[in-house]
Amino acid sequence: MTYPDIPLAQTIVHLCKAKGIQHIVISPGSRNAPLTIGFTSDPYFSTYSIVDERSAAFFAMGMAMQQKQPVVVVCTSGSALLNYYPAVSEAFYSDVPLVVISADRPPYRIDIGDGQTIRQDNIFERHILYTANLKQDLREDHNPLHRDQDSIPPAMELAKNDATLQKGVQQYNETEINNALNTAIEDSGPVHLNAPFEEPLYNRTEAMSVSPKNIAISPVTQIISEEEITTLQKLWNGAARKIVMVGVLQPNTLEQKLLDRLVTDDSVVLLTETTSNLHQNRAFPFIDKLIAPLEKMEDATLLWQKLQPEILLTFGGMVVSKKVKAFLRKYQPKHHWHVDPKKAYDTYFCLERHIKTDINTFLKRFVNGTIPVANGYFPYWEGIRKNRTLGHLEYMKQIPFCDFKVYEHVLKKIPDGTNLQLSNSSTIRYAQLFQLNSSLKVFCNRGTSGIDGSTSTAVGAAFHDENATVMVTGDLSFFYDSNALWNNYLRKDFRIIVINNGGGGIFRILPGDKNSEAFNTYFETTHELNARGLCDTFGLRYIFAENEEELIHALDSFYEDTESPGLLEVFTPRTVNDEVLLKYFRFLAEWNGGGSL
């Protein structure tokens, strides 16, 4: 087998293989040639070439989310590395094991005026679990440590000193690489290896010059005492109002029987989101539909107080709903417990306990000691939920063709078992207002909630999954990340639905003057673009719809088997969407078996 002749490159490739890291996403460059040679020459690795580093990192992150194991991204030196930052920060807040490996110039070549050089050490310092600033190998042919001729000892002594120094460099690098990769695997998050390489970069060898040691992971087990479990159970059983709220959760994370046991209790209200991937017949899966109308009712304060929990139990990642955050920050519970083996955010400014374990381990010990409390908490809110559901159906009958109407049709027609990738901004918020097919698996980059890599993430997530993937996105998100289509990894069953309302429609929902030139240009960013040209460029089948009849017709054939991926672009009226959505919550607040727009 062929290897790069640089020991550091050999060491990185060997240890990735030793730890079972198989998928490597590479962006072209010269300084990273030793890594590219190493990874592509070993048939163990599956390698992918993606030119745009920002897209490459999100592609890798999507793959890591689906594979539930680390994926490597490799880039050359200089500004290439900075393009990884959006995906690194998303991986940091979404607990995705992304391994960033950047090639670098040797330290003596930094800040002397050479091209493609920046200060790459600790570049992700605030959003990374581990940074390994690796050391450059010593070489006989060019060693900057020996540039001062007066300091060079005799030849034999020089060779001896170099050998000793190189041994120390190798030991340091092996330890740091092991630490970084073990952290990505054990703590599920991004890590960074910065590897300085000296030219020549393309030399190969038929034998390894090093034998890197694979340091095994030493898992740390978090133990919750029986005393703590008993204390929590007593508090739980003594509370008349409990809310269980679930943020972003990977599909099939929680054992259904544990969830059923926890929430089959009239003193418990279960709030879930589209991204929670939980389904339970007592759940409230559309939080804003429940909460937002309360703001518009005459007895709002009384209703908030009736909903206010004594105990709030949370698990999962980020929560989308701003409404529920505002509610729980103002009407705080007496006790807020968050279950997660790694971290707990004080989202509602009242976090009392961080229970450091996974949710299944906790509930297996917790639920058997809980006693259902018979009261009117859940039944009261269940009545409101039923009313909201009927009001929603009635409202949807009355509205004109708009974003809201499009989402109703689109979400209803997604085939069973599909992986549904949602972009941020309006898309995820509209999806939150519908009861989705329980067979769908839902994903969205909610770590930092940016629009910058949604499509790239979906493409990466789709590549190896056994089920087809549908990406639903807004126009700005899609055009922003259009380089997601610039690769050879689009599956023929991959589908994208772009809701094109001619700008950033979500800004029309926010307070402010919506009729000024400044608003149109700098907030809503209106445009007249369409996706047809991009589809022609990248080989996607293009379909469009401009009214409800065309949309229904397009969806009827959109998911049929084809030899190329497909994109459906739906054009909606830019100045109607915000009015329809804003009236929706007023309608629900006033609806009680009747009502009209």
pLDDT beyond 50 at 258: yes
pLDDT of residue 147: 42
Give the three-state DSSP class for 530: coil
Banded model confidence at residue 522, pLDDT cuts 50, 70, 90: low
Tokens of 389: 């559901």
pLDDT of residue 570: 98
How close are the terminal C-alpha atoms of the chain, in Å?
Answer: 71
Residue closest to 291 by CA, chosen among 282, 300, 281: 300
Question: Is the CB of residue 76 less than 8 Å from the CB of residue 31?
Answer: yes
454: enclosing H helix or E strand: helix 454-463
Tokens of 511: 């307070």
Cα atoms in the Cβ-side hemisphere of radius 13 Å centred on 488: 4
Question: Is the CB of residue 541 less than 8 Å from the CB of residue 494?
Answer: no
pLDDT beyond 50 at 597: no
Question: Is the CB of residue 127 less than 8 Å from the CB of residue 191?
Answer: no
Residue closest to 314 by CA, chosen among 359, 283, 256: 359
Residue closest to 265 by CA, chosen among 367, 186, 349: 367
Q: Where are the alpha helices (DSSP H) in 199-278?
A: 226-237, 256-263
The per-residue pLDDT for range 479-508, each reduced to its tens digit, is: 999 999 999 999 999 999 999 998 766 665
The pLDDT > 90 percentage for the chain reads: 84
Measured CA to CA in angstroms, residue 159 lies from 106, 136, 314 at distances of 21, 17, 61
Burial class (CB in 10 A: 0-12, 13-18, 19+), 352: middle
Residue closest to 212 by CA, chosen among 236, 238, 178: 178
Residue closest to 27 by CA, chosen among 48, 50, 47, 9: 50
Centroid of chain to Cα 446: 6
Tokens of 243: 């809310």
The per-residue pLDDT for range 19-67, each reduced to its tens digit, is: 999 999 999 999 999 999 999 999 999 999 999 999 999 999 999 999 9
pLDDT of residue 238: 97
Q: What is the mean pLDDT of residues 465-481?
A: 96
Q: Name the residue with tokens 């054992």.
A: 255
| Among 213-222, 312-321, 409-418, 450-459, the least confident range | 213-222
pLDDT of residue 152: 45
pLDDT of residue 148: 41
DSSP 588: H
Number of residues in the chain = 597
Cα–Cα distance, 448 to 424 (Å, whole number)? 10
pLDDT beyond 50 at 595: no
The per-residue pLDDT for range 206-226, each reduced to its tens digit, is: 999 999 999 999 887 788 999
pLDDT of residue 336: 98
Measured CA to CA in angstroms, residue 97 lies from 180, 193, 382, 434 at distances of 11, 13, 39, 31
Banded model confidence at residue 84, pLDDT cuts 50, 70, 90: very high
Tokens of 581: 């959505």
Q: What is the mean pLDDT of residues 581-597?
A: 78
pLDDT beyond 50 at 69: yes
425: enclosing H helix or E strand: none
- Tell me the average pLDDT of the chain: 92
Question: Is the CB of residue 60 less than 8 Å from the CB of residue 18?
Answer: no
Query: Please, which residues bridge with residue 420 across strands?
Result: 442, 470
pLDDT of residue 156: 44
Residue 417 backbone class (left: φ over 0; alpha: ψ -120 to 50; beta: rest) = left
Beta strands in 398-554 (DSSP E): 419-422, 441-444, 469-474, 495-500, 541-545
Q: What is the mean pLDDT of residues 401-418?
A: 97
The per-residue pLDDT for range 381-401, each reduced to its tens digit, is: 999 999 999 999 999 999 999
Burial class (CB in 10 A: 0-12, 13-18, 19+), 30: middle
Q: Which long-range contacts (CB under 8 A, 24 or more apart) does 544-553 make?
A: 544/568, 544/569, 544/570, 544/571, 545/569, 545/570, 545/571, 546/570, 546/571, 547/401, 548/401, 548/405, 548/409, 551/406, 551/409, 551/410, 552/409
DSSP 524: S
Residue closest to 490 by CA, chosen among 378, 403, 400, 567: 567
Residue closest to 194 by CA, chosen among 137, 108, 131: 131
The per-residue pLDDT for range 165-211, each reduced to its tens digit, is: 999 999 999 999 999 999 999 999 999 999 999 999 999 999 999 99
Delineate the domains of the chain, giving CATH numbers in brackets: 3-205 (3.40.50.970), 227-382 (3.40.50.1220), 401-575 (3.40.50.970)
Cα atoms in the Cβ-side hemisphere of radius 13 Å centred on 347: 27
* Radius of gyration of the chain from its Cα atoms, rounded to whole angstroms: 27
Q: What is the mean pLDDT of residues 568-592?
A: 91
| 530: amino acid identity, one letter | N
Question: Is the CB of residue 430 less than 8 Å from the CB of residue 34?
Answer: no
Cα–Cα distance, 375 to 44 (Å, whole number)? 59
Q: What is the mean pLDDT of residues 421-427?
A: 94
pLDDT beyond 80 at 592: no
pLDDT beyond 50 at 298: yes
Measured CA to CA in angstroms, residue 209 lies from 36, 179, 456 at distances of 18, 22, 38
